[in-house]
């Protein structure tokens, strides 16, 4: 209740579901993504719950964009209680087919973007002696799959960031955690939400409920790792 959140990748998919779920529980949010039109659409959905939503078009790979987003959240709400590092892109190719540009873009969005946002919210959180940083990682952040070199590397990296940061800032009252969803029905990797081949997959809302659980743990508890899969996912 009355918390404020920055949610990256909030223009669709899991980020959208988190924005809607958090507003239902009384949080205001700054919605980050590149598609202005979609951010407006999500902001409208959030406002239906009576909470504030500020669409903030930004690219998580650009430090100036990230710093501007955090400043805007502080101006608008006076504090950042929760950062959800959710923005991410897929890449599933044999390593010989991955160009250096593609490799670097996956690392920049999935890993460096989360580093930049975590870094930008730390001082304001440390000043208040509280805050939560939640990473939307992946089940393939802790195990590998063929054709997953770039994506797995980015998510293994994110796990490293999340775990190391968690231990670094815990004593300062800041809790850091990672959520590792399996196959989730979104627009991920240029696919369509609701496509028939995704029958039985996790819904974006299932992942949002996990984020809500992590975010609502009592102050003396850090839920630092959560993994969830659809029953139909065998591996």
Residues of this chain that bind ligand NJP (CB under 6 A): 8-15, 33-35, 38, 59-61, 86-89, 109, 136, 138-140, 181-184, 186-188
Nearer to ligand NJP, 127 or 200 (CB): 200
Could you tell me the smallest distance in angstroms from the CB atom of residue 217 to ligand NJP?
A: 21
Other CB atoms closer than 10 Å to residue 86's CB: what's the count? 29
Least separation, in Å, of the C-beta of 194 and ligand NJP?
Answer: 12
Going from the C-alpha of 203 to that of each of 23, 71, 83, 198, 235, the distances in angstroms are 18, 32, 21, 10, 18
CA torsion through residues 34, 127, 3, 180, sign:
positive
> How near is the Cβ of 62 to ligand NJP at its closest, in Å?
8
Structural contact between residues 14 and 86, judged by C-beta atoms closer than 8 angstroms: yes
Residue 202 backbone dihedrals phi, psi, to 5 degrees: -60, 145
> 37: part of which helix (H) or strand (E)?
helix 36-47
* CA-based R_g, the chain, Å: 17
- Shorter beta-carbon distance to ligand NJP: residue 109 or 176: 109
Collapsing DSSP states into helix, strand and coil, what is residue 211? helix
Q: Would you say 102 or 139 has its CB closer to ligand NJP?
A: 139
Active-site hit among 151, 187, 213, 235? 151
Closest contact distance (angstroms) between CB of 154 and ligand NJP is 8
- Is 151 marked active-site? yes
The nearer residue to ligand NJP, 26 or 194, going by C-beta atoms, is: 194
- What residues are labeled active site? 151
């Amino acid at each position: 209740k009355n918390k404020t959140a920055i949610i990256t990748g909030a223009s669709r998919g899991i980020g959208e579901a988190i924005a809607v779920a958090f507003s239902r529980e009384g949080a205001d949010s700054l919605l980050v993504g590149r598609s202005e039109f979609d951010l407006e659409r999500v902001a409208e959905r959030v406002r239906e719950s009576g909470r504030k939503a500020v669409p903030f078009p930004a690219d998580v790979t650009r430090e100036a964009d990230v710093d501007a987003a955090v400043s805007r959240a502080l101006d608008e709400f006076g504090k950042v209680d929760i950062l959800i590092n959710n923005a991410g892109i897929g890449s599933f190719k044999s390593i010989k087919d991955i160009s250096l540009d593609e490799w670097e873009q996956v690392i920049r969005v999935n890993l460096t973007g989360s580093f930049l946002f975590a870094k930008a919210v730390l001082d304001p959180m440390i000043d208040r002696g509280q805050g939560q940083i939640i990473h939307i990682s992946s089940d393939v952040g802790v195990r590998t799959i063929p054709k997953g070199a770039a994506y797995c590397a980015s998510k293994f990296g994110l796990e490293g960031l999340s775990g190391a940061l968690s231990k670094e800032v815990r004593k300062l009252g800041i809790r850091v955690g990672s959520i590792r969803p399996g196959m989730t029905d979104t627009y991920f990797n240029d696919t369509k939400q609701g496509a028939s081949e995704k029958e039985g997959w996790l819904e974006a809302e299932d992942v949002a409920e996990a984020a809500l659980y992590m975010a609502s743990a009592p102050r003396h508890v850090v839920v630092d790792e959560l993994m969830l899969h659809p029953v139909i996912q065998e591996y």
